[in-house]
């Protein structure tokens, strides 16, 4: 079995592609025609930018890039070096590096990014917002979003403190609903969660707090009017920590069953494009 096929097989055990949204582009996105000989390292990244690809090409041990967001999404009419996405494909193929993307299959996993975000909020019970019908065996509890109920309520200030510590962020954006601005009434017990962009998944879910990466101005206003506060961390900041804390160890452990020398590493240059200054 090729190393790429083994990576795809192991990722299927972690997050079956059946869990992905129908609109998504997941799985093997590029199979290098001439793979790098003896390369047994997987590079994890949220976004496959030119900088991340430079990092991968410089490391001769990297055979596969697992890019959380699909590096190739829209159809190509031509492949040229003047277009960023086709340039990614051409450079990967020329360098012997393949691309795999899990995206919404991981989002829906019961042990995916939303569960990881919930683990930083404090002891409690975690479920999903919209359960998936007929989830594959071993992935019961899969579904869209996350919903965490704390065993003991905390103040909004404490909830934000925990989120920042878990994600390693100095700053987040906070929208406080009128109810939570009243003295002694800023208690948080329930948190609705969506890694990445949250409006569609969170919908009108009733919770004390929404935790997500991004929402539009008017979407935030609508949530505040329902008596829910909102924490926005920027899109990929809600996803990136999961790669190092959970996925790296999972994937490396599964690969070791047939490739004992396989390694999984996280990109050092992948970062959210937005910075609060």
CA distance 212 to 198: 6
Q: Could you report the per-residue pLDDT of 174-199, keeping only the tens digit for each?
A: 999 999 998 778 999 999 999 999 99
CA distance 45 to 217: 28
pTM: 0.95
Q: Could you report the per-residue pLDDT of 79-101, keeping only the tens digit for each?
A: 999 999 999 999 999 999 999 99
Specify the DSSP class assigned to residue 36: P
**CB neighbour list of residue 200: distance below 8 Å, 6 or more residues apart:** none
- Percent of the chain topping pLDDT 70: 100
pLDDT band of 209, cuts 50, 70, 90? very high
pLDDT band of 270, cuts 50, 70, 90? very high
CA distance 92 to 64: 9
Q: What pLDDT is attached to residue 185? A: 84
pLDDT band of 272, cuts 50, 70, 90? very high
Q: What pLDDT is attached to residue 1? A: 67
Dihedral sign for Cα atoms in the order 87, 89, 90, 95: positive
Cβ contact 27:8 at 8 Å: yes
CA distance 86 to 118: 36
Mapping DSSP onto H, E and C, the string for 230-269 reads EEECCHHHHCHHHHHHHHHHHHHHHHCCCCCCCEEEECCC
Please spell the DSSP secondary structure of 174-207, one letter per residue. EE--GGGGSTT--EEEEEEEEEEE-HHHHTT---
CA distance 38 to 43: 15
Average pLDDT taken over every residue of the chain: 96
CA distance 128 to 80: 42
- Check pLDDT > 80 for residue 220: yes
Cβ-based neighbour number of residue 78 at 10 Å = 7
Query: And the tokens for 155?
Result: 């103040």
CA distance 169 to 166: 8
Q: Could you report the per-residue pLDDT of 102-138, keeping only the tens digit for each?
A: 999 999 999 999 999 999 999 999 999 999 999 999 9
pLDDT band of 276, cuts 50, 70, 90? confident
φ and ψ at 171, to 5 degrees?
Answer: -135, 145
pLDDT, mean of residues 10-31: 97
Q: What pLDDT is attached to residue 182? A: 86
Q: What pLDDT is attached to residue 183? A: 78
Q: Could you report the per-residue pLDDT of 44-71, keeping only the tens digit for each?
A: 999 999 999 999 999 999 999 999 999 9
């Amino acid at each position: 079995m090729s190393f790429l096929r083994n990576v795809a097989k192991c990722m299927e055990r972690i997050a079956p592609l059946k869990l992905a949204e129908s609109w998504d582009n997941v799985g093997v996105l590029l199979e290098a025609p001439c793979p790098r000989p003896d390369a047994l390292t997987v590079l994890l990244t949220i976004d496959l930018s030119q900088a991340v690809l430079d990092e991968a090409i410089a490391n001769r041990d990297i055979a596969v890039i697992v890019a959380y967001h699909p590096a190739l999404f829209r159809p190509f009419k031509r492949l040229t070096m003047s277009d960023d996405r086709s340039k990614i494909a051409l450079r990967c193929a020329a360098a012997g590096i393949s691309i795999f993307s899990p995206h919404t299959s991981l989002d829906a996993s019961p042990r995916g990014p939303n569960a990881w975000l919930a683990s930083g909020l404090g002891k409690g019970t975690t479920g999903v917002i919209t359960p998936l019908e007929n989830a594959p065996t071993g992935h019961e509890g899969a579904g869209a979003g996350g919903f965490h109920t704390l065993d003991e309520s905390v103040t909004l200030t404490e909830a934000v403190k925990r989120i920042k510590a878990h994600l390693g962020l100095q700053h987040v954006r906070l929208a406080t609903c009128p109810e939570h601005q009243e003295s002694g009434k800023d208690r948080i017990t329930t948190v609705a969660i969506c890694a990445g962009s949250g409006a569609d998944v969170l919908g009108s879910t009733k919770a004390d707090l929404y935790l997500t990466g991004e929402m539009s101005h008017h979407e935030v206003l609508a949530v505040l009017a329902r008596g829910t506060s909102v924490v926005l961390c920027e899109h990929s900041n809600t996803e990136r920590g999961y790669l190092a804390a959970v996925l790296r160890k999972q994937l490396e452990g599964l690969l070791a069953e047939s490739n004992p020398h396989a390694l999984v590493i996280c990109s050092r240059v992948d970062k959210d494009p937005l910075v609060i200054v």
